Structure 1
Amino acid sequence: MPLIELREFLGIVEEGTGDSGRISLLLFQAVMFTGVAFVDMSHLTTAGFATRNKARKAFYLKSRALYDFDYETDRVAIIQALLLMTYWCETPDNQKDTWHWMGVAISLANTIGLHRNPSPTTIPPRKQKLWKRIWWSCFMRDHLVALGMRRPSRIKDEDFDIPMLELEDFETEEFPSHILSCCRTLRNSALLTDLAHLCIAKAKLCLCISHVLSDAQYSVLIRNKGQAMGQEDYTRSSVMLFPMKLDQTDEVRDCDSELAEWLVSSP
């Protein structure tokens, strides 16, 4: 998800003294948590972790502790960190799972107005682009989580007026040579541009998914509705999406056409 100012973030980390700026400790730990999933296992072994999953859990718990203790006050940084924390789910019955963090992130995003078009405001253009990317990251993650967990999506089309992502919203210029000199991706402007195009296509696909998961296609039902349930059943999460039984050929045809158009126009 393109939810951080990567050039600024990596520059501050690379410089290491704080003279060029500071970054949120919560966000830093959340980035470390997500990065653990991709680093070479030899680095994790050197750090004392027997498995990748144990390393991910350790960094996740650091991020969660910082959040639980209200360490961070910048709500934008909190949203960024929470979106990254949605990538951890240890057991289905966790109270604070992917679904929980997603809800908190969206609630905060709405609270500070990330769902509104920043163009008419006096917000600096650079920050406008960041906020726009964060909101669309919320939208994409919300619908992918809903699809994966068979839950209702929280963000509806009518809830925001942020325009679709554009190439100009991304950092596609070649990064300075002193920032992660070992990373060839940051030195490849064409590849960064391709990644931006893929992200835009993903956002458009999630719009299609939102229409598939809309009230016209699926409804929210409670498992075991109408049946006697014990106390244990009442305390378990049971909200899921189920296909509606009505004849909805027109709506299905519209969704099918929209997906076909997306496929044709995708990079």
Structure 2
Amino acid sequence: MSSADEGNAPLTKKRKLQRACDYCRRKKSDGPDMPNNRCSRCRARRVECTYKEAFSVRSSYPSRQVASISLVYVENLESRLERMERLVSKVLHMTLVRIPDTESMPQLCPDGNIPSDPEGSPSTVEPSARSPTPHPGSLRPELLSSLSPPSLDQSPTGSGPLEPSGDDDDTDEDLTEGLRKLSVESHPYRFHGRSSGMLLLREARQIATGSQWGQEKGQYRHHVRYSRHSVGSEVPAFDDFPPNDLLDTLVELYFRKSNDVLPFLHEPMFKRSIQEGLHLRNSGFGATVLLVCAIASRFTEDPRVLLDGSEDRHSAGWRWYQQVENVQRLELAPATLYELQLCMLMVQFLSGSTAPQATWTLIGNGIRRAVDVGAHRRNVYNAKPTIEDELWKRAFWSLVVSEWTHSYGLGRPAAIHDEDIDVALPTPIDDEYWSLPGSDDNSVPQQPEGKPSKVAVLVSLIRLSQILAFATRTLYPINKSKRTDSSWEQRIVAELDSALNNWVDSLPSHLRWDKNHEDPQHLLQSSSLLGHFYQVQIAVHRPFLSSERRDSPLSFPSVIICNNAARSTVQMLEVVYRRSGTLFHGNAGMLYMCGAVLMRSILGQRRAGRTVTVDRDIACMKTAIEMLESIKYEYVLSRRSLSRT
């Protein structure tokens, strides 16, 4: 079996060429054992032993050599492709390991091996049963859209043919065996982003089946994260609730005093569930009710909200909060809607307690738990918006607003940033216009035209918090990058001021500050929003108040802006205080910040010998102290603020 090139060789006698088969030649092996004209390597690999490839010798004609090399190179690539197809076929037909049920605690395997399916073996499971059944909580396809990284050119620089490595075939079986221990399907309640390794396994399976994301959308259309509870069967139901009359009073106080400003609970559904006794059967909802009662305890003087045997007003609500705290622990199962709501309610309660520092870690844990189930990503496959989806958005965004506010207030980095989120903002539709679960109403919820939305305050607060988060990251960084342009701060401050002005212009009429608001809810919502606006304005200009920044062109305007914002906040909150007879607890932190700004202004003017606005600032300070005094027994932060003035 000689090649065509042998005719050109300068030989006088035709000789028989002792050559290896095509497979051994590619592996650089001589194939010594040849029973039945089949070499040992071909028999071991179960491949055909052929001698079809051209046997080329060195030629003085480059074109002939290149042609021979190209033929071998192409056939080598075809051989590698066949091996990869066989490998993918093995992965496709292997039995996938079932993911443990989320209602049971995961069993960790010390040896690193995933246990096999106890209900069947690969030989008894039908191919149709091996594919995981679509689950309502499965990952949404839009969450795993592919991301193409920059191409890295790693091809060899030599001009020789690219031959497959001799180790490729040897590792096929090992790789297949390793993949048998992995589940191509990610956990139906876990979010995996585009950089996740789970996506590579899923893509390998799609290559084998020829399917695409567009063909699988139907599997994920009903993505319901909240359909099961990871702790409902593990934590026994609570039974130590307030008496029915006190329970009704506390629930009403919570929705009027707290949820009206940060509306992340659904009032009709919450009250209906209590009437049906769900809090007595479901530990998740029961814990939510207990925390609602704990927060509302600060708005009443009923002695039954205090700890037994105590007359200290600061003990209000702790008897119910401690029940929930005692069963809280690190959960390995994915978060439920109740858990996110619990986290936010615990933050609200602890913010006015003797342990406000605990809110920082609570919020961070809530953010991580929410991201773990993909609450930060948008859902585009629901044909009709539901109240369950809406409550997920409200709970998540409430945590994010708290995270950004606390990050600024404590001078610490945030756990999540605006560019990490693409979930839609809450829908500005009031609770009563959403269809409750189990109802026959299939209409799309819609806010009546001309009726102000109560939920719009949360949407506006989120947008304002986005400005605060950007200001915190750009004006208060720990590691400031070197900038050659000295005017970058002026441009950033100008952009932030413009964003704040646009935010004010975008407010609906019922959320614009008007001291003559007839609706008490609109008065409370508009005053809280404007107070937050002034706090963000102070945050933008605070860096230029220090003596070290006197040379900055922003120094003098920033002093004026911060002082005016502090005075305006105190005067506005005084109007609400005089009309309602009390200070909204969530605004106590604003008064503390305004008092600090005014105190600095008073001391600075006295040191400089200027007393133009000193008397006015002192009057504002006294008003702020009076308002903080009114809630010192219900809100510990106000008492601490007074002790530092």
Counting only pairs closer than 5 Å after superposition, residues 16-165 of structure 1 correspond to structure 2 as 16=277, 24-44=285-305, 49-68=310-329, 75-87=336-348, 88=350, 89-91=353-355, 97-121=358-382, 125-165=386-426
Task: Classify the secondary structure of the residue corresponding to 2:431.
Answer: coil
- In 2, the alpha carbon distance for the partners of 1:78 and 1:123 equals 25
- Amino acid in structure 1 at the alignment position of 2:471: V
- In 1, the alpha carbon distance for the partners of 2:421 and 2:278 equals 39
1:195-240 Cα offsets, whole Å, 9 max, x none, are: 32222211111111111112x221137xxxxxxxxxxxxxxxxxxx
Give the one of 499, 505, 515 matched to 1:258.
499
Contact map agreement 1:33 1:60 (CA 8 A) in 2: yes
Give the one of 211, 214, 219 matched to 2:477.
219
Give the one of 179, 187, 196 matched to 2:455.
196
- Amino acid in structure 2 at the alignment position of 1:159: D
Deviation of 1:134 after TM superposition, in Å, equals 1.4
Aligned-residue RMSD, C-alpha: 3.7
1:150-185 Cα offsets, whole Å, 9 max, x none, are: 2222221111101223313x41449xxxxxxxxxxx
Larger Rg: 2
Contact map agreement 2:307 2:315 (CA 8 A) in 1: no
Unaligned runs of 5+ in 2: 1-261, 435-447, 512-645
Deviation of 1:256 after TM superposition, in Å, equals 0.9
Structure 1 length normalisation: TM-score? 0.71
Contact map agreement 1:26 1:81 (CA 8 A) in 2: yes
- In 2, the alpha carbon distance for the partners of 1:76 and 1:124 equals 16
Task: Classify the secondary structure of the residue corresponding to 1:195.
Answer: coil
Unaligned runs of 5+ in 1: 175-188, 222-241
Task: Classify the secondary structure of the residue corresponding to 2:454.
Answer: helix
1:207 matched to 2:466 = yes
Contact map agreement 1:142 1:153 (CA 8 A) in 2: yes
What is the match of residue 237 of structure 1?
none
- Amino acid in structure 2 at the alignment position of 1:39: T
- In 1, the alpha carbon distance for the partners of 2:359 and 2:346 equals 7
Number of aligned residues: 228
Give the one of 270, 282, 293 matched to 1:9.
270
Deviation of 1:43 after TM superposition, in Å, equals 4.7
- In 1, the alpha carbon distance for the partners of 2:413 and 2:330 equals 30
- In 1, the alpha carbon distance for the partners of 2:302 and 2:280 equals 32
Q: Which contiguous aligned blocks of 4+ residues in structure 1 show a shift greater than 6 angstroms?
A: 17-22
Task: Classify the secondary structure of the residue corresponding to 2:455.
Answer: helix
Contact map agreement 1:83 1:138 (CA 8 A) in 2: yes
Contact map agreement 1:32 1:59 (CA 8 A) in 2: yes
- In 2, the alpha carbon distance for the partners of 1:104 and 1:20 equals 26
What is the match of residue 61 of structure 2?
none
- Amino acid in structure 2 at the alignment position of 1:2: P
CA change 1:11–1:19 in 2 (3 A) is same
Deviation of 1:3 after TM superposition, in Å, equals 2.7
Deviation of 1:49 after TM superposition, in Å, equals 4.7
Task: Classify the secondary structure of the residue corresponding to 1:3.
Answer: coil
Q: Which structure ranks higher in relative contact order (CA pairs < 8 Å, sequence separation ≥ 6)?
A: 1
- Amino acid in structure 2 at the alignment position of 1:54: S
Paired-residue identity, %: 20
Task: Classify the secondary structure of the residue corresponding to 2:477.
Answer: strand
CA change 1:64–1:220 in 2 (3 A) is farther
Give the one of 160, 163, 171 matched to 2:431.
171
Task: Classify the secondary structure of the residue corresponding to 2:478.
Answer: strand
